[in-house]
Amino acid sequence: VLAAGAVATLAEVAGDVQRAAGAAERLLELMDTRPGIAPPVRPRPLPEPLSGEIRLERVSFTYPGRETPALDDVDLTIRPGERVALVGPSGAGKSTLLSLLLRFHDPDAGILRLDGVDLRELDLGALRSSLGLVAQEPVLFTGSVADNLRYGDADADLDSLRVAARDANALSFIEALPQGFDTALGPGGVQLSGGQRQRLAIARALLKDPRVLLLDEATSALDAESERLVQQALDRLMVGRTSLVIAHRLATVVAADRLLVFDGGCLVAAGRHGELMDTSPLYRHLAELQFGRHPSTVTTDAHSAH
């Protein structure tokens, strides 16, 4: 599970994490100015427009104090606009991959590149503003609904907020709140359901409009209607962007252009859901555990939301 919030600058992520109950350790971890994360003396600019290609070249990473690598010699190219689902047992390294892309850590060996540029040569702010993060349990800031959405784009006017909210399937519940977009959230304010919080986080990401999306799909069950609204909003968010999703739902893996199966820090298989069901015993096993007994027989038209 990726210990981070809904948008991807360090301050924002730390803000989210700070507000998450019991996340003090994670906060320290994120705030820690690691010697490894050195800013480049002369940052290289990202290409404009950014295509959103991600490349890992023989990347290995071991957390300090751990013996076994969390990622072990991972070689991988994700095409611009590709929708990739990361799957694998707990501890396989999926969240670590997203953490390295966000530069919470640097690899011990190998190189991560965005549009061909080594992440270590990029200004951290520029990197993180090209990445959108929707965490499993987005936490909201104290402030109004509008304030919360403007973490995605500080200059967004009300019309833009409304468009993003509409596309995130959040507009109707926002309009039903006592003061609409001015309704206060957080302690002393209105409490939102898990599905509503997720849709606000999606609206925020839509406003940010990043080339690359990192999603940690919620594992906690939403009711069917809420689930449908969130899924539809996510589908809209992913259109035209490179997206990496830590997948927990069958609809996600079925819709993905490619699944990357991780085990023990290694990338052990890649392909579409149907292919892997035939060729990868590990994937078949995982799919049966996670998605029910007969995932190959489920027909899910996950693109129907478009």
Which residues contact ligand ATP (rule: CB under 6 A)?
Answer: 1, 29, 63, 66, 70, 88, 90-96
Chain centre distance of CA 284: 24
Q: Which of 263, 288, 221, 291 is nearest to 86 (CA)?
A: 263
Q: Which two tokens stand for residue 8?
A: 């991807």
- Torsion angle, alpha carbons of 61, 63, 66, 67, to 10: 10
What is the DSSP track for 289-303? HHH-S-GGG----GG
Report the 10 Å Cβ neighbour count for 90.
7
From CA 242, how far away is CA 79, in angstroms rounded? 7
Beta carbon nearer to ligand ATP, 91 or 186: 91
- Closer CB to ligand ATP, 147 or 288, in the complex: 288
Nearer to ligand ATP, 98 or 119 (CB): 98
Residue 294 CB, shortest distance to ligand ATP, in Å, is 23
Distances (CA, A) of 255 to 65, 140, 279: 38, 29, 18
User: Percent helix, strand and coil across the chain, each rounded to 5?
Assistant: 40, 20, 40
* Encoded tokens for 128: 């993180």
131: enclosing H helix or E strand: strand 131-134
Least distance (Å) between residue 91 CB and ligand ATP: 4
CB of 231 to ligand ATP, least distance (A): 20
| Shortest CB 232 distance to ligand ATP, Å | 25
Report the candidate in 183, 254, 289 with the shortest Cα–Cα distance to residue 245. 254
What is the rounded CA–CA span in Å between residue 198 and residue 221?
A: 12
Nearer to ligand ATP, 95 or 242 (CB): 95
Closer residue to ligand ATP, CB minimum distance, 88 or 107: 88
Helix (H, G, I), strand (E, B) or coil at 172: helix
State in angstroms the smallest separation of the CB of 58 from ligand ATP. Answer: 18
Q: How far is the CB of 88 from ligand ATP (least distance, A)?
A: 5
Q: For residues 229 and 253, which CB has a smaller minimum distance to ligand ATP in the complex?
A: 253
Q: How far is the CB of 219 from ligand ATP (least distance, A)?
A: 9
What is the C-alpha radius of gyration for the chain, rounded to an integer number of angstroms?
Answer: 19
**In whole angstroms, how close is the CB of 51 to ligand ATP at the nearest point?**
26
Give whichever of 88 and 138 is closer to ligand ATP, judged by the CB atom: 88
At position 138, the amino acid (one-letter code) is P
Residue 238: strand, helix, or coil: helix
Between residues 95 and 243, which has the closer beta carbon with respect to ligand ATP?
95
